[in-house]
């Protein structure tokens, strides 16, 4: 016996089709649970936005971190009437459940371990098999490896040599290839274009004169106003995206969401907010080695994921 629950949010699918889509997902996952016997309870979250569908799962109470599974609307339509399409959907779900379950990462000395922001970034980063993906500031390669596991061709850059080595090691550990390159921002990918450029960049405002050269500072410090790297990532994105390609990055709300959207728009990309999450500030205080955050309230901060789509 399996127990499958699904929370779904739709934006463009007509009300009449929504129930049918939910039913086909639940039935397919239920069938998988009975056939594979590897989980008993599946709690699924499905979102459709502008005809793009993403699914995340919690199996037997364990949240699966990772890149959400991309599902096509056509796939869900066909799976209602065609056994072949239903089998394909089941295979995609089977691989997704296996993929998110089997990741293993090593955190070498000198490279920042994944924080709440890294997990938020990975949870909302959607890639499709075959996508050419660039991650700027890959750290130990969490997002880069998950994207490669989802079938993307990934280039991951970082300015810290130990991070580049860690990305390569973590890719090998997980049986995928990631093209890890050392260098600043877009310098390692001059003249190259991608379907997705993504980054969870350093963005803590750093008091003047307090900047440092070490790996911890590289991971956190965003220059005097927090925008030092982000501005360059946004400005350089159009020259590194294919037509309809996407720039995706995380941002703290205290840097200014309207400002972020305006900067994306000014770069010629269509901006939108993909996701937001409230994070406890205790975590940020642990990162805030230069005491840039004001003391006392607030106890939480909002982290957002912003997308800019090339027109």
Ligand X SMILES: C[S@@+](CC[C@H](N)C(=O)[O-])C[C@H]1O[C@@H](n2cnc3c(N)ncnc32)[C@H](O)[C@@H]1O
Which of 102, 184, 192, 211 is the binder for ligand X (CB under 6 A)?
184
Structure tokens at 119: 């997990």
Number of residues that bind ligand X (CB under 6 A): 23
Give yes or no for residue 114 binding ligand X (CB under 6 A).
yes
Least distance to ligand X, CB of residue 121, Å: 5
Site string for ligand X, 189-218 (x = CB under 6 A): -----------xxx---------------x
Q: Name the segment binding ligand X (CB under 6 A); options: 22-30, 88-96, 111-119, 301-309.
A: 111-119
Which of 137, 205, 245, 308 is the binder for ligand X (CB under 6 A)?
137
Give yes or no for residue 138 binding ligand X (CB under 6 A).
yes
Least distance to ligand X, CB of residue 92, Å: 25
Give yes or no for residue 73 binding ligand X (CB under 6 A).
no
28/203 with CB nearer ligand X: 203
Least distance to ligand X, CB of residue 261, Å: 21
CB of 11 within 8 A of CB of 50?
A: yes
103/138 with CB nearer ligand X: 138
Which of 24, 159, 178, 196 is the binder for ligand X (CB under 6 A)?
159
Give yes or no for residue 155 binding ligand X (CB under 6 A).
no
Q: Name the segment binding ligand X (CB under 6 A); options: 56-64, 158-166, 268-276, 299-307.
A: 158-166
CB of 218 within 8 A of CB of 203?
A: no
Give yes or no for residue 157 binding ligand X (CB under 6 A).
yes
SS3 string, the chain, reads CCEEEEEEECCCCCHHHHHHHHHHHHHHHHHHHHHHCCCCEEEEEEEEECCEEEEEEEECCEECCCCCEEEEHHHHHHHCCCHHHHHHHHHHHHHHHHHHHCCCCCCCCCCCCCCHHHHHHHHCCCCCCCCEEEEECCCCCHHHHHHHHCCCEEEEEECCHHHHHHHHHHHHHCCCCEEEEECCCCHHHCCCCEEEEEECCCCECCCCCCCCCCHHHHHHECCCCCCHHHHHHHHHCHHHEEEEEEEEEEEEHHHCHHHHHHHHHHCCEEEEEEEEEEEEHHHHHHHCCCCCCCCCCCCEEEEEEEEEEEC
157/165 with CB nearer ligand X: 157
Q: Name the segment binding ligand X (CB under 6 A); options: 9-17, 135-143, 164-172, 269-277.
A: 135-143
CA dihedral in degrees (277, 14, 86, 126; nearest 10)? -30
Give yes or no for residue 160 binding ligand X (CB under 6 A).
yes
- C-alpha 226/C-alpha 220 separation (Å) is 9
Q: Name the segment binding ligand X (CB under 6 A); options: 35-43, 59-67, 84-92, 136-144.
A: 136-144
Give yes or no for residue 219 binding ligand X (CB under 6 A).
yes
Residues of this chain that bind ligand X (CB under 6 A): 112, 114, 118, 121, 136-139, 142-143, 157-160, 163, 184-185, 200-202, 218-219, 229
């Amino acid at each position: 016996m399996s127990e499958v629950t699904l929370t779904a949010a739709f934006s463009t699918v007509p009300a009449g089709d929504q129930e049918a889509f939910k039913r086909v997902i639940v039935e397919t996952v239920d069938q998988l649970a009975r056939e594979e016997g590897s989980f008993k309870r599946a709690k699924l979250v499905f979102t459709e936005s502008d005809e793009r569908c993403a699914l995340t799962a919690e199996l037997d109470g364990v949240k699966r971190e990772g890149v959400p599974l991309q599902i096509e609307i056509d796939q869900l339509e066909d799976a209602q009437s065609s056994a072949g399409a239903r089998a394909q959907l089941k295979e995609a779900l089977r691989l997704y459940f296996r993929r998110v379950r089997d990741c293993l990462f090593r955190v070498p000395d000198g490279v920042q371990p994944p924080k709440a922001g890294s997990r938020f970034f990975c949870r909302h980063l959607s890639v499709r098999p075959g996508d050419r993906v660039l991650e700027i500031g890959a750290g130990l390669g969490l997002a880069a490896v998950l994207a490669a596991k989802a079938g993307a061709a990934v280039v991951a850059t970082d300015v810290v040599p130990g991070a580049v080595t860690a990305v390569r090691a973590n890719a090998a550990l997980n049986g995928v290839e990631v093209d890890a390159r050392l260098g600043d921002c877009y310098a390692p990918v001059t003249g190259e274009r991608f379907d997705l450029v993504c980054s969870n960049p350093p963005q803590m405002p750093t008091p003047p004169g307090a900047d440092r050269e070490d790996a911890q500072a590289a991971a956190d410090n965003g220059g005097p106003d927090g925008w030092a790297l982000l501005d360059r990532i946004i400005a350089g994105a159009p020259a590194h995206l294919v037509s309809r390609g996407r720039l995706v990055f995380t941002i703290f709300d205290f840097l200014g969401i309207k400002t972020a959207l305006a900067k994306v728009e000014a770069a010629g990309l269509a901006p939108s907010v993909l996701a937001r999450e409230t994070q406890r500030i205790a975590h940020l205080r642990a990162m805030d080695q230069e005491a840039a955050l004001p003391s006392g309230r607030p106890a939480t901060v909002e982290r957002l994921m912003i997308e800019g789509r090339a027109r």
